[in-house]
Structure 1
Amino acid sequence: MATVPRSDSPMKLDDSRYENVVSPSAKDEMMAMKTGDAALAVLGGGNNRRKVTIQEDRAVRRKIDLWVMPVVLLVYFLQQLDKSSLSYTSVFGIVQETGQSNSHLDIPIHTYAVLGLVGSQYSWLSSIVYVAQLIWQPISSYLLVKLPVAKYLFVHVLMWGVIVASSAAAKNFAGLITARFFLGIFEATVAPAFITITQMWWRRREQTMRLSMWMAMNGGTGMIGSLLSYGLGHIHGRLHPYQTIFLFIGLLTIACSPVVLFVLPDSPIKAKFLTHDEKVVALERLRANNQGTESKIWKWDQVWDLFLDPKTYLWFLLLFVCAVPSGGIGAFGPLIIQGFGFDQFKTILFNIPFNGFQVIVTLAAAYISTRLKLKWPVVFVLTLPPIAGASALLVLGRGMDMKNKLLGCYYVLSFFTALQPMLYTWSAQNTAGHTKKTCTTGVVFIAQCAGNIVGPLLYTTEEKPYYRRGLIANLICWISLAVLTLITACFLSFRNRQHARRRLELGKNAVIIDTSLEEHMGPSASDDGMENVAENDQAFFDLTDTQNEDFIFVL
């Protein structure tokens, strides 16, 4: 049984958009190839399939991992390093130095103070990055559909390296906030592009670990960035330490950017490191995902599908309440540690274990989730340690005899860093249709940007060392996240029951095996004894998760 998409008409809420065809005609196949996924150009049609052995599956996956993952890890490392450069410079006097840069002028002292980083100005230097990303995100979602992903990404990597290097010339709040705004514009496309790349290269079971690996680079960047800042902060020359940090990190990004252009393919169809047969295997690996690879056709019916889908709003709320604490602690983490009674160099060094825990927790959560084939229990459990850690930081004092206990409580907060990658992969695995996938990613990152804008503004430098308002807000967010996780799991379970009923009405098996979450690719549905394996004939017709009754939602 096959369903031929009718993407040129708006999506309705009833089942009239489904056309039950027993044997697709040549005309139907041509229509599917015209409006469907780019993979059909290699596969030759929705029903043409090639059996893939476990050995072939492993060999092609290994090739993809060796070619695609290093580039993804490198770029995300650089992106996080560049974005976090402000956090490192906060310990090395950017607040004081940018204010003092005008102290030689014969102007009243109150006027000079306004030119420095006072009040919430430092907070805005962190938030403005996400304001820019919020503005650019809808445009980026459209361009990710229309343009080659790798080439589009290369331009952004190069330009944000230029912006960070140029930040070294900024000597006051106006210069810094301008540079940070354009940094947000050029970094806006990175994580959405990587979610798209993850969806088009790996099976759903593999996506969780791959996505968590590049998200774990946040922690890797924190460790390496802290050591770099520690070393660069000891350089005493004509430049202030914060200028040296900006210049070094920016030039490093510029030097590495050509790797994206020359190594990363735009899609599996265009991968030069794969033979034609390996491309077929790579695409067959993705069939059970029912998510396709890519389509250069912008489909408004899929945008309509997005806005009518209740889970779109659940993803938004989940990412928003997750991003508020992330934005605040990301910007003020070193200052929080410094408030425990440590000097600037010890503050930088003590931030390294926090980032190390982030890597461990992120990868451990991905591994457990993959084994369980579930997301919601892992997400729920991950909210509990930061709730405990924030509560402790709120009730404990800030005496010198308490600094070791306070540091331990701060490290417990590191569990929250695994929440974001889990939510990214949860939303990505439950979305199909190329336009809807990119738009859902856009919604997710709009929520993240909004949360990261609000997060740093809940902290101010005047509240040190307690930062009580920020910690209370974070505590509320983590509790809300735990409740929303349970609601989302219940809704996805309800949607699976809906699809089971629809399959039954179409003469298919109500209960089917989702091979995309199995360790190895399952045998063809036509094999003896495997009647309840989904046929997935519509996998490359560029249908949304709502339109394709074979789509199984991941809880």
Structure 2
Amino acid sequence: MTDDSKISAEPCAATEEAVETAGEKDFKGLDDASKFLAGREEITWTEEEERQVLRKIDRWLLPLMFFSGLIVYMDSQAYGSSAIFGMIQDLKLFTVVSTDPLVTETSRYSWGSSITSFGSISSQYLLLLLAQKLPLGKYAGAVILYSGFFAILMVAVKNFAGVMVVRFLYGFQVVGTPVNIIITAMWWKTEEQALRVAIWFAGAPFGALVGQAFSYGAVQMGGAFRDSPWKWIYILIGSTSMAYAIVYILLFPDSPMKGRFLTDRERHIAVLRVRSNNTGIQTRQWKMYQVWDAFTDPQTWLLTIIKFAIAFANTCFANFAGLILTSLGIGTLEAITLLMPASAIMIVSMLLAGYVVRRFNQNRTLVACAFLIPSIVGYSLLWKISRQGRPALLGGLYCSVTFYGAYIQSVSLVSSNVAGHTKKTTVNAIIGTIAYVGAIAGPFAFKGEEAPRAYPTGMITVLIMLVIVFVCFVLLMFHYKRQNRLKEKYLAENPATGTAEEMAFLDLTDRENPHFRYAL
């Protein structure tokens, strides 16, 4: 028997113990759904009833999740927008290399961008462990409130040291994305998740688009900050975030068992319909063996490499796209306008990638590879085309952002293919932590002295990263296929193994549960 098969054999004893424990009404270590279902009779429902429950879940949760992504991304991209409206000069985020001719470098600005990721790295796992213990809806709302507060606080910053402190603490808010991944697995079936992830994650590029519009209007407000128009960007975006956070906290349910917008029967259906995911809903007990499972799972590291490279590319675009355009002699307001189509292409890429997977039942890893190809071509153009070839450069810039369609698939794979609540928390923390290392490294590939040539070193570096992502998706596809074959073989050889229904809410990991099937 292979090592993988040995892992799959473990649930037999675990299931017997867990079922016995549940029978004694001691739910410690089991999924919260087990407690909810205890004493309830099994029910059946029609396809139309399930469609009605799904519609209610979609109508209630997806807008809230979408706008949370929009709001928080508006906060995060404000740093890049503020850079071209005087923030670098006001906060002395540059140093003079020579005075004759005048040459400056912007490593301080790059550090201000990267320090956020240091905050994310230092806080990620502890904040996710806290999320495992607390009501997730309220926790996610508190993250939005925190984000808005630190956006407004940027207005009070006076120098580079202040930027570093505020931006470091601001980095804590990125826990919102892994929390949303966990929420997605709670509410939607595996085959529904890719499209739903695409919808709520599309809030981020919409946030970039809306944030650019906010920035365009904010810098023309004049008034108290006429000479520092970038401050209006933070004031408007930060206050909007804090107001929305209150709405989110009041409306977003903590789990399907507590969805007040559903009837009791609909809550029952909402819980049972996701049982087939074999990923559970929420378990509040931390389990050390699941941490080990996370660290020894090959998919963890392939997904981590993917997220590292995509975070690298994302940070580069968010913080340097505007500077790339202005380095070509384009005015600041025109640069903001020209970035808007790129944000629109991000949105289309995300939604189209999710739609293709759901509508045509397509392999997620192959869809991801398809959306990476235009980005690879785009960065090749940005790297090689002459600086005078403005139409080709803009074409390269707009093609370069289709990789967000692949990013959506990586997020949905984490949601669908990682089971066991402590393992989910750990995998999300590993992926998030290493991804923020990519976000830290990204800006430093863009050397200030290369600005007149539109940063060729940065372009070739991002290009290499996207090729690596392509290879990792191919490897993931073969890994998942192999694991599914091993599970089928194990069940065929061990027909006495517990049923899928018995194991669904026992908080087993994806490798423990022989009934778990990886989504490709």
Q: State if a TM-score over 0.5 links the two structures.
A: yes
Matches for 1:15-54 after TM superposition, within 5 Å = 15-19=9-13, 29-30=23-24, 33-44=27-38, 49-54=42-47
Amino acid at match of 1:552: R
Matches for 1:356-435 after TM superposition, within 5 Å = 356-370=344-358, 371-399=360-388, 402-435=389-422
Counterpart for residue 189 of structure 2: 203
Counterpart for residue 89 of structure 2: 96
Counterpart for residue 449 of structure 2: 462
Matches for 1:275-424 after TM superposition, within 5 Å = 275-370=263-358, 371-399=360-388, 402-424=389-411
Q: In 2, are the aligned partners of 1:99 and 1:117 still within 8 Å (CA)?
A: no
- Answer yes or no: is 1:87 the counterpart of 2:87: no
Q: Deviations over 1:255-298 (max 9, x none)?
A: 11111221011111122222221111001110111111101111
The alpha carbon displacement at 1:369 in A equals: 1.8
The alpha carbon displacement at 1:342 in A equals: 1.3
Distance 2:302 2:119 in 1: 23
Distance 1:13 1:62 in 2: 38
Structure 2 CA distance for partners of 1:14 and 1:470, relative to 1, 3 Å? same
Amino acid at match of 1:89: S
1:547 aligned counterpart, secondary structure: coil
Q: In 2, are the aligned partners of 1:99 and 1:172 still within 8 Å (CA)?
A: yes
The alpha carbon displacement at 1:546 in A equals: 0.9
The alpha carbon displacement at 1:29 in A equals: 3.1
Counterpart for residue 123 of structure 2: 136
Distance 2:183 2:426 in 1: 14
Distance 1:52 1:508 in 2: 28
Q: In 2, are the aligned partners of 1:128 and 1:181 still within 8 Å (CA)?
A: yes
- Answer yes or no: is 1:537 the counterpart of 2:499: no
2:502 aligned counterpart, secondary structure: coil
Distance 1:21 1:135 in 2: 36
**Structure 2: runs of 5+ lacking an equivalent:** none
Q: Deviations over 1:455-485 (max 9, x none)?
A: 1121133321320111111111111111111
Q: Deviations over 1:289-341 (max 9, x none)?
A: 11111011111121121122121111111211222111111111111122233
Which shows bigger deviation, 70-79 or 467-476? 70-79
Q: In 2, are the aligned partners of 1:123 and 1:460 still within 8 Å (CA)?
A: no
2:222 aligned counterpart, secondary structure: coil
Q: In 1, are the aligned partners of 2:64 and 2:252 still within 8 Å (CA)?
A: yes
- Answer yes or no: is 1:153 the counterpart of 2:149: no
Q: In 1, are the aligned partners of 2:11 and 2:514 still within 8 Å (CA)?
A: no
Q: Deviations over 1:127-186 (max 9, x none)?
A: 11111111111101211111111222232222221111110121321112211111112x
The alpha carbon displacement at 1:357 in A equals: 0.7
- Answer yes or no: is 1:554 the counterpart of 2:519: yes
Q: In 2, are the aligned partners of 1:32 and 1:541 still within 8 Å (CA)?
A: no
Distance 1:414 1:544 in 2: 34
Structure 2 CA distance for partners of 1:336 and 1:94, relative to 1, 3 Å? same
Q: In 2, are the aligned partners of 1:137 and 1:189 still within 8 Å (CA)?
A: yes
The alpha carbon displacement at 1:423 in A equals: 0.6
Structure 2 CA distance for partners of 1:237 and 1:88, relative to 1, 3 Å? same
The alpha carbon displacement at 1:383 in A equals: 1.6
Distance 1:238 1:259 in 2: 30
Distance 1:21 1:319 in 2: 34
The alpha carbon displacement at 1:354 in A equals: 0.3
Matches for 1:64-75 after TM superposition, within 5 Å = 64-75=57-68
Structure 2 CA distance for partners of 1:31 and 1:459, relative to 1, 3 Å? farther
- State the percentage of identical aligned residues: 30
Distance 1:21 1:14 in 2: 12
Distance 1:20 1:164 in 2: 47
2:111 aligned counterpart, secondary structure: helix
Counterpart for residue 105 of structure 1: none
Distance 2:486 2:385 in 1: 50
Counterpart for residue 48 of structure 2: 55
Higher helix share: 2
- Answer yes or no: is 1:78 the counterpart of 2:71: yes
Distance 1:334 1:354 in 2: 11
Distance 1:135 1:177 in 2: 15
Q: Deviations over 1:178-225 (max 9, x none)?
A: 11111112x132101111111101111111111111211122112111
Distance 2:41 2:273 in 1: 14
Counterpart for residue 264 of structure 1: 252
Q: In 2, are the aligned partners of 1:536 and 1:550 still within 8 Å (CA)?
A: no
Structure 2 CA distance for partners of 1:48 and 1:229, relative to 1, 3 Å? same
Counterpart for residue 530 of structure 1: none
Counterpart for residue 5 of structure 1: none
**Structure 1: runs of 5+ lacking an equivalent:** 1-10, 102-107, 510-533
Q: In 1, are the aligned partners of 2:445 and 2:458 still within 8 Å (CA)?
A: yes
Counterpart for residue 214 of structure 1: 200
Structure 2 CA distance for partners of 1:292 and 1:419, relative to 1, 3 Å? same
Q: In 2, are the aligned partners of 1:336 and 1:464 still within 8 Å (CA)?
A: yes
Amino acid at match of 1:91: I
Number of equivalent positions:
508
Distance 2:22 2:85 in 1: 64
Counterpart for residue 4 of structure 1: none
Q: In 2, are the aligned partners of 1:393 and 1:406 still within 8 Å (CA)?
A: yes
Distance 1:459 1:241 in 2: 26
Distance 2:466 2:127 in 1: 29
Structure 2 CA distance for partners of 1:17 and 1:372, relative to 1, 3 Å? closer
Which shows bigger deviation, 463-472 or 146-155? 146-155
The alpha carbon displacement at 1:12 in A equals: 7.7
Distance 1:145 1:189 in 2: 12
- Answer yes or no: is 1:228 the counterpart of 2:214: yes
2:32 aligned counterpart, secondary structure: coil
Alpha-carbon RMSD across the aligned residues, in angstroms, is: 2.6
Q: In 1, are the aligned partners of 2:150 and 2:238 still within 8 Å (CA)?
A: yes
Distance 1:67 1:25 in 2: 34
Q: In 2, are the aligned partners of 1:128 and 1:453 still within 8 Å (CA)?
A: yes
Counterpart for residue 179 of structure 1: 166
Distance 1:150 1:503 in 2: 37
Q: Deviations over 1:400-439 (max 9, x none)?
A: xx21221111101021122222111112211111111121
Counterpart for residue 163 of structure 1: 150
